[in-house]
Chains A and B, each alone.
Chain A
């Protein structure tokens, strides 16, 4: 230290400006509020759920103890969400890239607005679309799958109505596409020009530029977008309940059959109105399981992103 005017160590008080104080207070309380709400939900689910978990099979409508009861639902939830993500993530990235870097500017903007609108469509509409439009049109396709790929456990025997877990997954994929596309597009658009040009000047094609400059930059954003989509896919009740309209569901590898797995959220939606006593607790307990699954998935995704933090270019 060469400056003689520097305050002596110890007396060194940081000047706190009112703006800083107000803002830090605001952001702290917002953060605390989120944690409190989250804790509230967790506590409610736990307190109300435990009687459902410990309930005797005779006390609940399903006539099963909790694990055998919830396992098919967990299975169905994971299957539906996984298929939805497998379809939606690549499509969302592709469409977002098209809008941000391939399409002429006018077309890109138009498509962007359209997709933002789609994000606002309520899920009951997607459910109706799934039953009324998609399901009947999938029937011939499912028959074809059964005939040609029937040797795989996933395909066959085929449902006659088309109201299968695969149809429900496709509806879910369509539902989560807009939000994921919108987020990816925004992030892709923010790729620094400097890095795009670095790639192009090396002789990258547009796709190679995407791989060298855009995707690495957008990595954590893509994961966030996928997590938002996944959250909706895991938790979506109405559309799935409408398309499947089954009770507790079965555990089966067949994706196109009429005996379908159900999902936790759909099962709660369908069962809650007429449930009484310990059955309600069992439903709430299944909600707790969904909460935990969502939490774990998010946690895993974050740790994947963090593992390569120093390569993120944020420094």
Chain B
């Protein structure tokens, strides 16, 4: 199920502005990879290029290669809509559909696949997804209530449930805990540990402890200067990056000396 990602020589543009330059990184299947680095260095931009969400912004484009289990993500025969069904995404700010019930939010992706589903089948998917997202116990009595009535942490877990209800191959998370309290954060970190057995997970985080806690691999991005594009400085096993980084900028960032 879970797929690997292989990025080589990727340049990412907003119009004429080169935001991320020359990234090459392999990401193994069923692993958790954390992207760290100072604000504005292109972590979100890079993450969004992995499920072709980058190109929904006007004028945005990429150059280079991204292979998903050997298949060219930007190949001519790849439909971005299908790509996004295969590669799920959780955003920095929780974004459940406010006009939908909790139940319908979880099923939103399923309904796009426009499969006719039996009620029992739909119920099963909702329960399974909410259980995996650690939200079932809290919402099972009010599945028909609007998703916007939940707390921030619950909304974010609802978004995770929505993303995994379609059983994607890969799950991308852009600072999923940055708007959450410590308890919701730890719930989501536990969740990432559990999801790892089924999904390839890439998570952007500003929190060093979080990167150390949840990830197998860590990639450090940095700006080469003001107005210059962001670059991947180094990547490797999380223990190695944290205990023995090659680059002095990585060490400085991890020790909190800048960023």
Contact = CB atoms under 8 A, between A and B. Distances in A.
Interface of A: 105, 194-195, 197-205, 208, 212-213, 216-217, 219, 308, 310-313, 315
Contacts of B163: 201-202
A110 to B, nearest CB: 17
B183 interface: no
A217 B95 CA distance: 13
Sorted from nearest, which 5 A-B pairs have the closest CB atoms?
Answer: A313-B98, A203-B85, A216-B99, A201-B89, A203-B84
A216 B163 CA distance: 20
A213 B108 CA distance: 11
Contacts of B81: 203-205
Contacts of B95: 194-195, 197-198
Given A208-B112, A313-B148, A200 B53 contact: yes
Given A202-B112, A203-B82, A217 B99 contact: yes
Contact of A311 (B51, B82, B89, B99): B99
Contacts of A216: 97-100
Contact of B98 (A199, A205, A208, A312): A312
Interface string B44-78: 00000001010010100000000000000000000
Contacts of A308: 99
A203 B81 CA distance: 5
A310 to B, nearest CB: 6
Nearest to A104: B58
B141 to A, nearest CB: 17
B88 interface: yes
B242 interface: no
Contacts of B206: none
A197 B53 contact: yes
A1 B179 CA distance: 27
A212 B159 CA distance: 15
Given A197-B53, A311-B146, A202 B85 contact: yes
Interface centre among A105, A199, A201 (most CB of B within 10 A): A201
B91 A202 contact: no
B109 interface: yes
Residue from A205, A208, A212 with most neighbouring chain B CB atoms (10 Å)? A212
Contacts of B58: 105
Interface of B: 51, 53, 56, 58, 81-86, 88-89, 91, 93, 95-101, 108-109, 112-113, 146, 148-149, 159, 162-163, 166
23 contacts: A105-B58, A195-B97, A195-B98, A198-B95, A198-B96, A200-B53, A201-B51, A201-B53, A201-B89, A201-B91, A202-B85, A202-B109, A202-B163, A203-B81, A203-B86, A205-B81, A208-B112, A212-B112, A216-B97, A308-B99, A312-B99, A313-B148, A315-B148
B99 A201 contact: no
Contacts of A217: 98-99
Contacts of B113: 203
Mostly, the A contact residues are helix
Nearest to A202: B109
Contacts of B162: 202
B16 to A, nearest CB: 17
A198 B97 contact: yes
Contacts of B108: 199, 202, 212
B108 to A, nearest CB: 6
A37 to B, nearest CB: 35
B98 A203 contact: no
A312 B112 CA distance: 21
Contacts of A312: 98-99
A116 B159 CA distance: 39
A315 B155 CA distance: 14
Nearest to B101: A311
Nearest to A204: B112
B172 to A, nearest CB: 9
A203 B99 CA distance: 19
Contacts of B83: 203
Contacts of B88: 201-202
Given A201-B51, A203-B84, A203-B109, A311 B98 contact: yes
Counting chain A CB atoms within 10 Å of each CB, the highest count among B81, B96, B99 belongs to B99
Contacts of B51: 201
B99 A200 contact: no
B149 A313 contact: no
Contacts of A204: 81, 112
A225 to B, nearest CB: 18
A311 B100 contact: yes
A202 B98 contact: no
A105 B91 CA distance: 26
A216 B104 CA distance: 13
B157 to A, nearest CB: 15
Contacts of B146: 310-311, 313, 315
A212 B114 CA distance: 13
A212 B91 contact: no
Contacts of B53: 197, 200-201
A176 B213 CA distance: 60
A3 to B, nearest CB: 24
B99 A313 contact: yes
